[in-house]
Each structure stands twice: as structure tokens, then as C-alpha cells.
Amino acid sequence: MTKILAVAESKHGAVAGVSRETVTVARTLADSLGGTVEVAVSGAPGGELAEWGADRILRFDPGGEDAGGPDPFAAALSDHIRTHGCRAVVFAATATGRDLAPRVAARLGVSLLTDCTGVEVAGGALVTTRPVFAGKALARVRALASPALLSIRPNVFPPRTAPREGVRDELHAGAAGNRPGYRVVGFEASQGASLDVSEATIVVSGGRGMKGPENWHILADLRDAIGETAALGASRAVVDAGWRPHAEQVGQTGKTVTPKLYFAIAISGAIQHLAGMRTSGVVVAVNRDADAPIFGVADYGIVGDAFEVVPKLAEAIRGLRQG
């Protein structure tokens, strides 16, 4: 029986939302190959993923002397794959997935197709589409080795329910595989930002036209009006000026985002910025300059002063919520 392994992520002891997408892609592959979906998860029960098409949930819990980091899970996954075999492994191209997947690939000695926006089975082989050269081209890439390892870009594959009955969590001992010499010794939370810009379904990004960090409350207010699915982003000009942390930068040398709605506020739309957001669902631009290149990729634009338009926008969206 062909097996497809989806690697789920956990966040504060629960399965991360993006994992539904990972499981959905695994389900699609399993259906076209006539196989089953196994889901591997560490640090959370994964039972709810049966809803999205998991046939079997494997829980890998960190071992006793776990020093943190991606190595224990990478070791456990690669051991499992080596012993039980599988046709393909699907990760999410999140910060966590990008840290984990190459380690698993290298342990198995196979290539990895990162950040795919399309996945299909063609002529019995796995073929993926992925953006290259800052989104200026798309590459169709065929996996030659087995298992085929790939990671999917978040927010691109809509989760599809495919409920499975009687799926149980099976506990697997975590492999004692932490590479000696890697210890997590501390964590400093940054203020605010709870949702990473690359994982938000709505992004409110600000550019140099916002004039200074003291004006960011205007954008934060729009984000708050939208709710907890939204996160703040920024152009590089803003990050370079020290107004916002690099973690919020969208673009070629920042994060790649694919929200269903992207607000570009007082951002000119330089090619390197577009590289990070052009695969967004709907793009809204607010810019004083009617000739700003951002209007070339925006689905809807308002030519106007962000300081006037954005507060009104936040107000209107709040009204929508309450009405």
C-alpha cells in the first residue's frame, strides 16, 4: 500500500492550523496514487487531523533528555521512514518546516522540493511547481528519488475536509537522536507579534510612506479591526530604518507571504517587495502616487493619503464586524 506521510506542526500543545493544508496535500496525493495518509506530529495530539484525511496519526514525543531543537524529531522521522517506507513526505514551508525538512532529507539521502505552490502526480512521478528567481519564474520540478520530500507554501492549498473514522493516536517513543552539541538555552519573546506574518491569512503591510514608527498604531488598528487572523508586515525601507523588526519584512530578503488578503499601505511596490507577496490572494494598495508600481499588481487600489484612508478603512471594517 502506498503511504504518504504528512508532517504536522504543533504550537503551544495544539496542532498548528497550517497542518490541515499539509494533510490535505498528502490526502490528494494518496488519492491519486491509491494510498493512505499517515500524519507524524510532535508535541501535540493530532486526532483532529482525521477530519482532513489522516488515516493514521503517529505521535512522536520528545525523549527524556530532550535539549530542544529540530534534531530529535528529524531523527525520529527519518528512522520511521527508513524502517516503514513511504512514497512521499509533505512538510509545510513554515519557519519550523524549513528548519526540519532539510535535516530529514539529508538523513534519508534524498532531495527536497521546497516551498511548492503546485503538487501533482504525472506519469507515476511526483511533479511540483515552485516559484524561483523571486517569483519572476515558476519551475516544474520532478522528484527522481524515493521517498519524494516536499514542503508546501502556507495558504496556497485550501484545506479540504475528508473525514476518517476510528483514527487513533499512536504514541511512538521519540528517538534519542538529538545531535549532541545543540542546546536550546533561552528564548526572548518579541513584544506584540503573536502571529507570524508568513502564517497570517490577512496581512497589513506598511512602507516608508508611513513616515515613522510612531505612526504604526494606525496600521495596528486596522489589523485589530480585522481580528486575530491578521498580522503586520513591512517593506525593507521600513525595516532598514529600524522602524519595525526584520521578522515583519516582506520580500525577497524577508518573508514570503501568501495571505488571502494583503494590504500594501504606502509601499511603492519595488520588485523585491513583490517577490514576497505577489502570490497573495487579493492585493489592496493605498498610495498617494497614482503611478506607484504597486497598483500594477493590486486588485483594488485607493489613490490617497494613508493617514486619512486607513483609519476610515479600520472604522468601516469594524462596522462590518458589528453590523
Is 211 a residue that touches another protein (CB under 8 A)? Answer: no
Q: Given the rule CB under 6 A, which of 32-40, 165-173, 271-279, 312-320 is the region that contacts ligand FAD?
A: 271-279
| 69 secondary structure, DSSP code | S
Please tell me whether residue 297 binds another protein under the rule CB under 8 A.
yes
> How far is Cα 26 from Cα 305, in angstroms, rounded to an integer?
45
Q: How far is the CB of 184 from ligand FAD (least distance, A)?
A: 28
Alpha-carbon dihedral angle through residues 155, 160, 164, 168, given to the nearest 10 degrees? 10
Q: Is 141 in the site for another protein (CB under 8 A)?
A: yes
User: Is residue 134 within the footprint of ligand FAD (CB under 6 A)?
Assistant: no
Output b/e per residue, 261-280; b: 16+ Cβ within 10 A.
Answer: bbbbbbbbbbeebbbbbbbb
Q: Is 119 in the site for ligand FAD (CB under 6 A)?
A: no
Residue with cell 491519486: 32
Q: How far apart are CA 194 and CA 205, in angstroms?
A: 16
Identify residue 45 by its one-letter amino acid code. Answer: P
The verdict on 244 binding ligand FAD (CB under 6 A) reads: no
Subset of residues 189 to 208 that bind ligand FAD, contact rule: CB under 6 A:
207-208
Q: How far is CA 61 from CA 11, 45, 64, 193, in A?
A: 14, 10, 9, 28
**How near is the Cβ of 236 to ligand FAD at its closest, in Å?**
3
- Partner from ligand FAD, another protein, none binding residue 81, C-beta < 5-8 Å depending on class: none
**Footprint (CB under 6 A) of ligand FAD, residues 1-40:** none
- Does residue 95 belong to the site contacting another protein (CB under 8 A)? yes
Is residue 81 close enough to count as binding another protein by CB under 8 A?
no
Alpha-carbon distance of 83 to 39, in angstroms, equals 16
**Contact between 310 and ligand FAD (CB under 6 A)?**
no
Of the listed pieces 88-96, 99-107, 167-175, 285-293, which binds ligand FAD according to CB under 6 A? 285-293
Q: Confirm or reject binding of residue 312 to another protein (CB under 8 A).
A: yes
Q: Which does 107 bind (CB under 5 to 8 A by kind): another protein, ligand FAD, none?
A: another protein
Q: Whose CA is closest to 244, among 273, 219, 280?
A: 219
Q: Which does 267 bind (CB under 5 to 8 A by kind): ligand FAD, another protein, none?
A: ligand FAD
Q: Are 109 and 138 in contact (CB under 8 A)?
A: no
Q: Which residue in the set 49, 88, 143, 267 belongs to the binding site for another protein (CB under 8 A)?
A: 143
- Taking each helix axis from N to C end, the angle separating 71-84 and 95-108, rounded to the nearest 10 degrees, works out to 50
Q: How far is the CB of 248 from ligand FAD (least distance, A)?
A: 10
Quickly tell me which residue has 535539549 as its cell.
67
Query: What residues pair up with 230 in beta bridges, in sequence order?
Result: 202
Quick check: 176 binds another protein (CB under 8 A)? no
Report DSSP letters for 277-294, one per residue.
HTT-SEEEEEES-TT-GG
Q: Which amino acid is residue 226, in one-letter code?
A: I
Q: Does 1 bind another protein (CB under 8 A)?
A: no
User: Given the DSSP bridges, would you call strands 282-287 and 300-303 parallel, antiparallel or unpaired?
Assistant: parallel
Compare residues 51 and 196 and give the one whose CB is closer to another protein: 196
Residues within the interface to ligand FAD (CB under 6 A):
207-209, 235-238, 249-254, 266-268, 270, 272-273, 276, 286-289, 292, 305-307
